[in-house]
Amino acid sequence: MLTDHQILRIPGPTPIPPSVQRAMNLPMIGHRGEETSELLKRIHPRLKPIFGTEQEVLILAGSGTAGLETAVVNTTQAGDEVLVLVTGSFGDRFAKICETYQLKIHRLDVPWGDAVDPEQVNAYLQNHPSIKVVFATYCETSTGVLNPIQEIASAIQSASDALFIVDGVSCIGGVKAKMDEWGIDILVTGSQKAFMLPTGLAFVAASERAWKVIEENPQPRFYLDLRKYRDNLAKYTTPFTPALSLLFGLEQALNLLETEGLENVYKRHQLMMEMTREACQALDLPLLTADDTASPTVTAIYPEDFEADQLRKVLKTEFGLSFAGGQNHLKGKIFRIGHMGYCTPADVLQFISLLELGLQQIGVKRDFGKGTIAAQTIYLERRK
């Protein structure tokens, strides 16, 4: 194997398109100059359709977690009651951020691998009318669950005036998001997933209702103060030094998404998910999530007759193929495949074929080639 040949199929960071890499290598410019202002003018309106909003999508230099903390610190203050919907490791992270800011946390814990039941959310809010904010994770990266955000939003609206804040880090750009139509108050994502960029940009959009809360919130904040980003964007600048190379790359990533067309982007992700899941089922590899709650961006497999990490090690050593492992209590028990961003059905056929070879090499008896044939069949059936 070539030592510098790596096949990255984890749920982030994801591979970078060559044209995006070239864009990030453009010469540096002054971050307070006219060129940067023109760059921001070009970029910002093009983010709105991906979020499904008419509001401005603000860009922070920071990871997705910075975006999540931004959402918390701008809308809450110590002692506020909040509800966190926890379906995995990243729902739990939202809860930990809330704990840091001394909020009174209600947790609605869902078994890992299951999605949130909107009726449960509705009932919980009716029994706890003091809750001011509900936090949820759109795609729970640790399990491969895609939570029913539209239905959860409706359940919240029928029971409460609470704000609805959504972590969309591992799916925005790969699945539909209709922030305004669904009634999401703050939607957050990051650059290193379906946006096909390195880590380093956080994207945050807020509804008019959320902005009212943000304006009136006495909670101190400095770097993460959304008001600063909004006010500076009106002048096509940023409150702090922007990650210019990433912004160069973002412009080209948006070019790629728009050339393909967002609906086609979403169809591609759905197709890759179906190919992956059908292949795993053909190989008798148990899936952690049900078909109707599975994410188009990441699939989690829960093997019963071999060690997940043994397979991952062989695939990495022999082929340079990286799958992700499990987190928290699923560490060593599952492996996760990322199929988002710069990824196509051809890549799915590659990693399924290599997965079959890996199973053979660790002595797992399966019908060789059955998974690849299953994925090929789905491609032929669903590609149009």
The answer to whether the beta carbons of residues 188 and 203 sit under 8 Å apart is yes
E strand map for 9-102 = 57-61, 81-86
Q: What span, in angstroms and rounded, lies between the C-alpha atoms of 312 and 208? A: 46
Half-sphere CA count of 228, side-chain side, radius 13 A: 14
Q: What span, in angstroms and rounded, lies between the C-alpha atoms of 116 and 101? A: 25
Question: Can you say whether the dihedral through the CA atoms of 263, 271, 326, 139 is positive or negative?
Answer: positive
Among residues 301, 279, 302, 299, the alpha carbon closest in space to that of 356 is found at: 279
Encode 218-227: b = buried (16+ Cβ within 10 Å), e = exposed. eeebeebbbe
Encode 111-141: b = buried (16+ Cβ within 10 Å), e = exposed. ebbbbbbbeebbebbeeeeebbbbbbbbbbb
Letter for the amino acid at 186? I
Tokens found for residue 333: 């028990």
383 is in an annotated binding site: no
The answer to whether the beta carbons of residues 191 and 342 sit under 8 Å apart is no
SS3 for 315?
Answer: helix
Binding residues: 336
Binding residues for substrate: 336
